[in-house]
Amino acid sequence: MELWPGAWTVLLLLLLLLLFLLPALWFYSPSAKYFFKMAFYNGWILFLAVLAIPVCAVRGRNVENMKILRLMLLHIKYLYGIRVEVRGAHHFPPSQPYVVVSNHQSSLDLLGMMEVLPGRCVPIAKRELLWAGSAGLACWLAGVIFIDRKRTGDAISVMSEVAQTLLTQDVRVWVFPEGTRNHNGSMLPFKRGAFHLAVQAQVPIVPIVMSSYQDFYCKKERRFTSGRCQVRVLPPVPTEGLTPDDVPALADRVRHSMLTIFREISTDGRGGGDCLKKPGGVVEARL
């Protein structure tokens, strides 16, 4: 293919511009740095998923594949300088099915989740994640359970099937009972699916709390630095003998204990409040 003679000069100039512009943006614009870091986070996960897919595919769709995804993602915390400190891991029941419930601040939760993910444990995820390119396929191969949040009836019947699978195939599930990402420094009201699931299967609930990221990450402020996060595993909550009527009180009790721990371990100096800085530099606290 013949290129117009000036084209090389233009290409060279563009390349030089990129070489200077990108580092300049990185160093002088915290917002640009935030975008690069988030773009790399997603891009890197998509790339790792491409590597994981053939390895998982030869084993077929299997919860054991979650181990492969976990191993592949464990190093990401080092790339971002995030120290993940795990406490209470001894609370995981050693060999029985259970339902893990944890707070959901951002897609960075994947880091804390992979740090403590027990064997044969699969997350319940929104159906849209299935279409996230290679990551969606890798999740499917690892047995991630997808629910359609727009169809309550369907989501509930999937959860009821899961209650059976928990017992027959000895698996554990990880649910984010807030049902969506929430970075407002507190926890949204809990949806009850996870608790119905645990009561139906009569298995314990293991609550896990990840401390606030607001020290090092704030989407609204476009701030993403290195930092520290504590992942606390709480003692299992038994559900034997409980009936569907007990679910609302059970969900409230678990949420209350998680919120107490969340406030205790979140050392962001903002009281766990909203990280959004008002124009005057005042931090708005919304508990």
Ligand X SMILES: CCCCCCCCCCCCCC(=O)SCCNC(=O)CCNC(=O)[C@H](O)C(C)(C)COP(=O)(O)OP(=O)(O)OC[C@H]1O[C@@H](n2cnc3c(N)ncnc32)[C@H](O)[C@@H]1OP(=O)(O)O
Decide: is 96 part of the binding site for ligand UBL (CB under 6 A). no
Q: By CB under 6 A, name the binding residues for ligand X.
A: 45, 48-49, 52, 69, 72-73, 104, 110, 123-126, 129, 135, 138-139, 144, 147, 149, 152, 155-156, 159-160, 175-177, 179, 191-194, 196-197
Decide: is 132 part of the binding site for ligand UBL (CB under 6 A). yes
Decide: is 135 part of the binding site for ligand UBL (CB under 6 A). yes
**Which residue's structure tokens are 């989501």?**
155
- Residue from 29, 180, 226, 260 that binds ligand UBL (CB under 6 A)? 180
Q: Which residue, 7 or 51, is less far from ligand UBL as judged by CB? A: 51
Report the alpha-carbon distance of residue 72 to residue 51 in Å, rounded.
9
Closest contact distance (angstroms) between CB of 132 and ligand UBL is 4
Stretch that binds ligand UBL, among 40-48, 67-75, 150-158, 234-242 (CB under 6 A): 40-48
Report the alpha-carbon distance of residue 77 to residue 115 in Å, rounded.
10
Closest contact distance (angstroms) between CB of 181 and ligand UBL is 3
Site for ligand UBL in 110-129 (CB under 6 A): 110, 126, 129
Helix H, strand E, coil C: the string for the chain is CCCCHHHHHHHHHHHHHHHHHHHHHHHHCHHHHHHHHHHHHHHHHHHHHHHHHHHHHHHCCCCCHHHHHHHHHCCHHHHCCEEEEEECHHHCCCCCCCEEEECCCCCCHHHHHHHHCCCCEEEEEEHHHHHCHHHHHHHHHCCCEEECCCCHHHHHHHHHHHHHHHHHCCCEEEECCCCCCCCCCCCCCCCCHHHHHHHHHCCCEEEEEECCCCCCEECCCCEECCEEEEEEECCCECCCCCCHHHHHHHHHHHHHHHHHHHHHHCCCCCCCCCCCECCCCCECCCC
Closest contact distance (angstroms) between CB of 263 and ligand X is 22
Q: Which residue, 32 or 188, is less far from ligand X as judged by CB? A: 188
Q: Which residue, 42 or 260, is less far from ligand UBL as judged by CB? A: 42
Closest contact distance (angstroms) between CB of 69 and ligand X is 5
Decide: is 133 part of the binding site for ligand UBL (CB under 6 A). yes
Binds 107: which of ligand X, ligand UBL, none (CB < 5-8 Å by kind): ligand UBL
Residues that bind ligand UBL (CB under 6 A): 42, 45-46, 104, 107, 110, 126, 129, 132-133, 135, 176, 180-181
